[in-house]
A and B are shown apart, each in its own frame.
Chain A
Amino acid sequence: MENPEQIKSRLEAAVPGAKIEILPNDCPAGERPLRVDTAHILAVAKFLRDDPQLRLDFCSNVTGVDWPETELTEKIKVKRVVDGVEKEIEEVKKTVRPGFLEVVYHLYSMELKHGPVVLRQRTANRDAETPAVSLTPVWRGCEFQEREVFDLFGIRLEGHPDLRRILMWDGFKGFPMRKDYVAPDDFEYEPTPHDEVLEQAKKHYPPEVTA
């Protein structure tokens, strides 16, 4: 099977205008994902499924990942004037990477028995029902898994035939698998609490105990 660079060059030739990026993966046994922009991912998916060399007709796994806003620190070398002499010193530069959500697809081929190719699409922000593109028209197996991504992460996948909650009840508000989700408070009785559970249980203790 081709490596991600070859797939990327063929995709850029076949789907003009697609912005594809190969993301790093430090794990040696893992495969490097291809990040595709949401405007072209449907065409990319169709190409991957129908291309005779790849024939990726089996979408094995669809899931979401939450990347909240983080501060990245890196050490860079800058030229500064110190005591009248221009020197190169190291400074710590802090950048804020805005938060986003990702939908990850693992693709295999049942016909040619190879794989996997990992696709990722990134949303623009972490709003409540931030949009992305659904690949259910290409692989029917994504149907329930994309509903679960909508239910638990709150990514509205456009093009899905029936997007509604699947694991939580219909009136539920909130997206539980996001990193900033706060679980409801029903910690009235905890026999052996510790760490975060202890903090939450303490709210229910009678006042004379916490003093």
Chain B
Amino acid sequence: MNAVGERPSQNYEILPKPSETGEPLGELLEVSMGPQHPSTHGVFRMDVVLDGEKVMKLKPVFGYLHRNHEKIAENISYLGSMPYTDRLDYFCSMTNNWAYALSVEKLAGLAVPERAEYIRVIMAELTRLQNHTCLVGFFAQDMGALGTPLMYAFREREKILDLFESVSGARMMCNYLRFGGVRCDVTPEWLAQAGQLVDGYGRFLDEFETLLSENEILLARSQGVGVLPRELAVNASITGPMLRAAGVNYDVRKVDRYGIYSRFDFKVPLGEHGDVYDRYMIRVLEMRESVKILKQALRDIPSGPVMDPKAKLRGFRPKSGEAYGRIEAPKGELGFYLISDGTANPYRYRVRPPSFINLTILEDMCLGHRIADTVVILGSVDIVLGEVDR
């Protein structure tokens, strides 16, 4: 690093470009995009080697938000880690809480009452709605539609955040789920407001789709770009909408049937080509399926307790053992691996982050495309750095 007043060394490098026979042909430019960059979705850096505008090599560099969540969790109790899980994927705090609560319930053998299960599904699907809405907004912004689709997206998101705030006290970091249920009950007025929001969401999606889905700039910039073949997606442990856009039918809600998802009637949309446009359309279709699930859940929610009476909040010491619990978070498969040694703190606490693993094939998808496509492809992977770096 430099002392004050020294001119900084250049932040790019010129590399020689050899032909197949080894003769020097020209120059390649190695440049670092990020970590402070308007379109990298957080502090994420990509070292790209460019031939003109085409990407020859791409190496992602992260760790700029490594906040030692796993190490901190070894020193505090199980319940003490619950607020930290909010801050992993900071858009979707309710689903992070659910993944962690599911793992601890598996470890300790706790049961969740019916009403709490319905509330969990409602919260998770609302989270999925606002995450995909924001993603479509950021995606359109990365393509150059500065501001306007994002404004529409955040307008809807504020309505959902109002619901979260009235039930848990915080807009984003809700810390609402507990081991064995949820923290407090929802009122009938809340359910009525949620019902109103869900009824109006279909119309908002229609408005959004009319503006975006057949927009010629979006089609030109996203069709055929960043293609991910099926076999590579499965071998590289890709999960979530990226995997389904490549044509693989694997949704943890349908495979594991955690919670009460087996009672709801919803489809899993699949893509054909695996390109950026497919990922965008999969997310829009998933939003419509979430609206369907929400309508069913709000209609069928029973009355009853929201917390398992046998669950202990203080002095919670599960027996020693290990468990791995996973859910279908909006970004992919979010899993928590816990090893307990019988004390109040976990022995090993591991987050399986979907965004981190979905970045494995970023280089493969970007090779041969222009540098402007890199931004679009990264937007379609949908990463959140809090989860990538933990």
Q: Which residues of A line the B interface, CB within 8 A?
A: 25-31, 33, 57-61, 63, 65-66, 104, 106, 110, 113, 116, 118, 139-145, 165-169, 176-177
Q: Which residues of B line the A interface, CB within 8 A?
A: 62-63, 66, 68, 70-71, 106-107, 109, 232, 234-238, 248, 250, 255, 318-324, 326, 333, 335, 337, 339-340, 348, 350, 352, 356-357, 359-361, 389
In the assembled complex, the CB of B224 is this many whole angstroms from the nearest CB of chain A, namely 23
Closest to B347 in A: A65
Main secondary structure of the interface of A (DSSP, over half): loop
In the assembled complex, the CB of A86 is this many whole angstroms from the nearest CB of chain B, namely 37
Q: How far is the CA of A146 from the CA of B348 in the complex (A)?
A: 17
Q: Enumerate chain A residues within 8 angstroms of B106, measured Cβ to Cβ.
A: 27, 29-30
Cβ–Cβ contact A30 & B71, under 8 A: no
In the assembled complex, the CB of A24 is this many whole angstroms from the nearest CB of chain B, namely 9
Q: List 15 A-B contacts (CB under 8 A).
A: A26-B321, A30-B324, A33-B322, A58-B237, A60-B333, A61-B335, A63-B337, A63-B352, A106-B337, A113-B250, A113-B255, A143-B360, A144-B356, A166-B63, A168-B66
Q: Enumerate chain A residues within 8 angstroms of B250, measured Cβ to Cβ.
A: 58, 110, 113
Q: Enumerate chain B residues within 8 angstroms of A63, measured Cβ to Cβ.
A: 337, 348, 350, 352
Q: A61-B352, A167-B66 are in contact. Are A25 and B322 (CB under 8 A)?
A: yes
Closest to B237 in A: A141
Cβ–Cβ contact B238 & A168, under 8 A: no
In the assembled complex, the CB of A74 is this many whole angstroms from the nearest CB of chain B, namely 16
Q: A116-B324, A143-B360 are in contact. Are A27 and B319 (CB under 8 A)?
A: yes
Cβ–Cβ contact B350 & A61, under 8 A: yes
In the assembled complex, the CB of B126 is this many whole angstroms from the nearest CB of chain A, namely 26
Q: A110-B234, A140-B235, A145-B357 are in contact. Are A61 and B337 (CB under 8 A)?
A: yes
Cβ–Cβ contact B70 & A169, under 8 A: no
Q: Enumerate chain B residues within 8 angstroms of A58, measured Cβ to Cβ.
A: 234, 237, 250
Q: Enumerate chain A residues within 8 angstroms of B322, measured Cβ to Cβ.
A: 25, 27, 30, 33
Cβ–Cβ contact B333 & A176, under 8 A: no
Cβ–Cβ contact B319 & A167, under 8 A: no
Cβ–Cβ contact B359 & A144, under 8 A: yes
Q: Enumerate chain B residues within 8 angstroms of A140, measured Cβ to Cβ.
A: 232, 235-237, 360-361
Q: How far is the CA of A30 from the CA of B326 in the complex (A)?
A: 12
Q: Of B71, B232, B323, which contacts A176 at CB under 8 A?
A: B71
Closest to B70 in A: A177
10 smallest A-B Cβ distances: which pairs? Answer: A141-B237, A27-B321, A167-B63, A26-B321, A61-B352, A30-B323, A140-B236, A29-B106, A167-B66, A63-B350
Q: Enumerate chain A residues within 8 angstroms of B326, measured Cβ to Cβ.
A: 60
Q: Enumerate chain A residues within 8 angstroms of B318, measured Cβ to Cβ.
A: 27
Q: Enumerate chain A residues within 8 angstroms of B237, measured Cβ to Cβ.
A: 58-60, 139-142
Closest to A169 in B: B63
In the assembled complex, the CB of B387 is this many whole angstroms from the nearest CB of chain A, namely 13
Q: Enumerate chain A residues within 8 angstroms of B321, measured Cβ to Cβ.
A: 25-27, 30
In the assembled complex, the CB of A163 is this many whole angstroms from the nearest CB of chain B, namely 14
Cβ–Cβ contact A60 & B109, under 8 A: no
Closest to A26 in B: B321
Q: Enumerate chain A residues within 8 angstroms of B238, measured Cβ to Cβ.
A: 141
Q: How far is the CA of A38 from the CA of B352 in the complex (A)?
A: 24
Q: Enumerate chain A residues within 8 angstroms of B357, measured Cβ to Cβ.
A: 141, 144-145
Q: Enumerate chain B residues within 8 angstroms of A59, measured Cβ to Cβ.
A: 237
Kindly list 15 other residue pairs between chains A and B, CB separation below 8 angstroms, not including A139-B237, A143-B360.
A26-B319, A27-B318, A27-B319, A27-B321, A30-B323, A57-B234, A60-B237, A60-B352, A61-B335, A61-B337, A106-B324, A110-B248, A144-B356, A144-B359, A167-B63
